[in-house]
Amino acid sequence: MAIIQKYEHDKLLINESGFTHAHWKAFVKLNTLHGGKYFEVLHNGLKFNQYVGVIQVDDLLVEICPKADRHGDHSRWQHMLIPMLKACNKIKTYSHGFAQVSQQNLNLLELYFELFLKNIEKLLRLGLIKKYHLHTQNTKVLKGKLQFAKHLQHNLIHQERFYTTHQVYDNEHLLHQVLYKALTIVKQYTHGTRLHALTHRIAIAFPIITLESTLNEKLFDTFTFNRKTAPYQDAFELAKLIILNHSPNIKGGKERMISLLFDMNQLWEEYIFLQLKKHLVNIPDYSVKRQPSKAFWKSKVVRPDIVITNNARQTTYIIDTKWKLPIHHNASIADLRQMYSYTRLWNAQKALLLYPGEVASNSFHPFKPKDIYTHYCKIGFATVMNTQQQLDTTIAAQIMNQLVS
């Protein structure tokens, strides 16, 4: 399999590293299907946006890595994505085999496939659950409810048969349909890889399930778990991710395509929020909220990324996360207007525009318009990776030091 590694906001041109015009057409179709949000289409290639992850088309895999700055060292960002997904619970750390998997040099797609297969393997050892469901068919035994119209239609000659609807207790239920569908997708993309033997072994052990339902996001959202189905939850979430990101024969094309992409702006915001929440839980009087909303105009609302409140001092801080580096270390006028609105609506004393980067000693400066309170704002930086090229566990302390200083 050919592998192309790029960084967010990079360009990928046709005839570069095995990227053909057929691949370009498949990528364009995928992008159109998702509202054009993944990348910008060029006449001779693509320009990636803030989405990172992997896209596989047949035997070509494109890996898009996160990178906040355009001119810095590429290697310091390369291995950041999987640990950040783990920290944001996008990868369950308690999934069977994660410790062994994460230490290997795998792409993101292989990692999710292996976690899914390990979860299915665990379910097979525990024993697959059975459920009651209604089944309609022609039988030689009268059981359940006789369907008169269908019975007359099918059994005028074969009067020894009965067309009935009756209850069956077996493995043929929605939960197994979802897992079986995801397993058939994984089989397509692991052929000839190191996961081929594991996939083949699990596919043989897993019962063949009739796919009667249309598996879409609406159906997934209606599914609830109980005590009996709780062990399936991790496998179900992984299966949902695989199915919804698979695009077989997209818009009539012949290419097999699967994508697993994450918005780095949202991931960075969620990561900062979770790190602050973990840090402040043991500090009295502090509370932290993500994207609280307030009415702004008519039905419009505004939502800052993160709001921190010190209940004892009755002080409020606003944080707006930015997954980029500011031009010439200066905030844009649009960002400053946004922060001013936030501080006015939340009566916040301080606001912080937070970027990834080395911590710098910047000062707070007041907004000029007069108000009951004086509102301050500054640019702040948080170190994402430490010197060992791992996520910096002190990032929340860094941010709080910049806010309260």
Task: Give, in degrees to the nearest 5, the angle at Cα 365 between 362 and 367.
Answer: 150
What's the maximum distance between 2 C-alpha atoms anywhere in the chain? 91
CATH fold of 283-404 reads Trna Endonuclease; Chain: A, domain 1 (3.40.1350)
78 CB neighbour count, 10 Å cutoff = 15
CB 145 within 8 A of CB 207: no
pLDDT tens digits in sequence order for the chain, 405 residues long: 789 999 999 999 999 999 999 999 999 998 998 889 999 999 999 999 999 999 998 889 999 988 876 555 555 666 788 889 999 988 865 444 444 444 445 678 988 999 999 999 999 999 999 988 788 889 898 888 999 898 888 988 888 899 999 888 888 888 999 999 999 999 999 988 889 999 999 999 999 988 766 788 888 888 899 999 999 999 999 999 999 998 765 545 566 789 999 999 999 999 999 999 999 998 999 999 999 999 999 999 999 999 999 999 999 999 999 998 888 888 999 999 999 999 999 999 999 999 998 888 889 999 998 788 899 999 999 999 888 888 999 999 999 999 987
Distance of alpha carbon 160 from the chain centroid: 54
Structure tokens at 394: 């002190």
What are the b/e assignments for 379-396, b being 16+ CB within 10 Å?
bbbbebbeeeeebbeebb
Structure tokens at 296: 């702004």
Structure tokens at 279: 């840090």
As a whole number of angstroms, the distance between CA 270 and CA 286 comes to: 18
pLDDT (0 to 100) of residue 79: 74
pLDDT (0 to 100) of residue 103: 44
> Which has the closest alpha carbon to 353: 373, 375, 382?
382
> Which has the closest alpha carbon to 85: 57, 109, 104, 117?
109
The single residue listed with the structure tokens 């010197």 is: 387
Question: pTM of the full predicted structure?
Answer: 0.85
Count of residues making up the chain? 405
pLDDT (0 to 100) of residue 217: 85
144 CB neighbour count, 10 Å cutoff = 16
Residue ranges matching CATH 3.40.1350 in the chain: 283-404
pLDDT (0 to 100) of residue 213: 66
As a whole number of angstroms, the distance between CA 12 and CA 24 comes to: 9
As a whole number of angstroms, the distance between CA 308 and CA 252 comes to: 50
Strand order in the sheet with 306-310: 286-290, 306-310, 315-321, 350-356, 376-382, 365-366
Hey, what long-range contacts does 230-233 have (CB within 8 A, 24 or more apart)?
Answer: 231/122, 231/123, 231/126, 232/123, 232/129, 232/175, 232/179
> Which has the closest alpha carbon to 395: 358, 362, 351, 352?
358
CB 376 within 8 A of CB 366: yes
pLDDT (0 to 100) of residue 99: 44
As a whole number of angstroms, the distance between CA 205 and CA 192 comes to: 20
How far is residue 380 from each of residues 74, 276, 308, 318, 362, measured CA to CA in Å? Answer: 22, 15, 16, 12, 7
As a whole number of angstroms, the distance between CA 358 and CA 6 comes to: 24
